[in-house]
Amino acid sequence: MDFDHLTLVFRRLALEAGDKIMEIYNSDDFEVKTKSDDSPVTEADEAADAIISAGIRAEFPDVTLVTEEQADSHAQKADTFIIVDPLDGTKEFVLRRGDFTVNIAYVVDGKPIRGVVYAPAKNRLFYTGADGKSVEETGDFAKDKVGPTTAISVSNPDNSGLMIVASKSHRDQATEDYINKYAIKDSKSAGSSLKFCLIATGEADLYPRVGRTMEWDTAAGHAVLLGAGGDVVRFDDHTPLTYGKAEYANPFFIAYAPGVTLKKA
């Protein structure tokens, strides 16, 4: 794989999808439907998926594509695949809270080694470069020209006062019980895969997820966090969170800066 090309394509498609999402987000009204699993889906999810899927298939026709909004793709299995959540945080989108992202990741042998996370309402763009190191780009996000980038890196955590980030829409008692095992300096809420990125930039130290997620929800953020020196492990036994699992479903997990002394579940 030409990782220079991969990075540029992922970045461009995320930006194009983000433009379409914001066009719908800023409209007076948009339709919200309910999928078979009772999760919401909007015309923005579907429009962004169409943009990204067409672009991926044009540029990488031989790579398996798995995307949330195409149920047929969930039956595919491959050691190497691209996995997409065109609009992660649909609930945040519907409530117009801004914490939603476009996620595109490249997985090899169970590990997300490249990814892009774009939060169009927050004007934040994170991705792994061709060298596998993660950056945050600033500027006007031109489609054909990469703007200023800053290398990002996880914090050096202070275990006597950790910075926690948790889900805005899914923060339940089980999550609170686990968080309370740690000495906490401060806690913040964020939606979608932004939580991984906040650890990748050192803005948070720990993100426990005690709830259902799918691989398309996490792969891009996971890749960004890995490229910034962080890690993601299973909640139950602290072994690495891997990809290409049955039905692309995740177990509970913990994303963290490696200096955090992890507590048992």
* Shared domain check, 18 and 127: yes
Task: Give the CATH number, domain containing residue 182.
Answer: 3.40.190.80
Largest CA distance in the chain: 50
Query: Is the model's pLDDT at 57 over the cut of 90?
Result: yes
Task: Give the CATH number, domain containing residue 65.
Answer: 3.30.540.10
Residue 107 pairs with which residues in a beta bridge? 81, 112
What's the whole-model pTM score? 0.95
Query: Is the model's pLDDT at 37 over the cut of 70?
Result: no
Residue 187 pairs with which residues in a beta bridge? 164
Express as a percent the part of the chain with pLDDT over 70: 97
List residues forming the annotated binding site for substrate: 68, 87-90, 217
List residues forming the annotated binding site for Mg(2+): 68, 85, 87-88, 217
* Shared domain check, 118 and 178: no
List residues forming the annotated binding site: 68, 85, 87-90, 217
Residue type for position 72: D
Q: Find the domain containing 204 and state its range.
A: 162-256
Name which of 135, 151, 111, 117 is nearest 231 in CA terms: 111
* Shared domain check, 203 and 131: no
Residue type for position 56: I
CA dist 120 → 23, 65, 166 (Å): 11, 23, 20
DSSP secondary structure, 171-212, as one string: --HHHHHHHTTS-EEEEEEE-TTHHHHHHHTTS-SEEEE-S-
Q: Is residue 261 part of a domain?
A: no
Domain endpoint, select from 151, 179, 211: 151
pLDDT, the chain, mean = 94
pLDDT band of 32, cuts 50, 70, 90: confident
- Quick one: average pLDDT of 178-185? 95
* Shared domain check, 44 and 166: no
Residues 216-262 have pLDDT tens digits of 999 999 999 999 999 999 999 999 999 999 999 999 999 999 999 99
Q: Residue 30 has what pLDDT?
A: 80
Q: Residue 36 has what pLDDT?
A: 61
Q: Is residue 157 part of a domain?
A: no
* Shared domain check, 145 and 174: no
pLDDT band of 168, cuts 50, 70, 90: low
Rounded Cα distance between 138 and 153, Å, is 16
Query: Is the model's pLDDT at 149 over the cut of 90?
Result: yes
Residues 60-97 have pLDDT tens digits of 999 999 999 998 999 999 999 999 999 999 888 888 88
Q: Is residue 93 part of a domain?
A: yes
pLDDT band of 170, cuts 50, 70, 90: low
Name which of 96, 144, 84 is nearest 122 in CA terms: 96
The contacts of residue 159 (CB under 8 Å, 6+ apart) are: 182, 183, 259, 260, 261
The contacts of residue 244 (CB under 8 Å, 6+ apart) are: 77, 78, 79, 81, 107, 110, 215
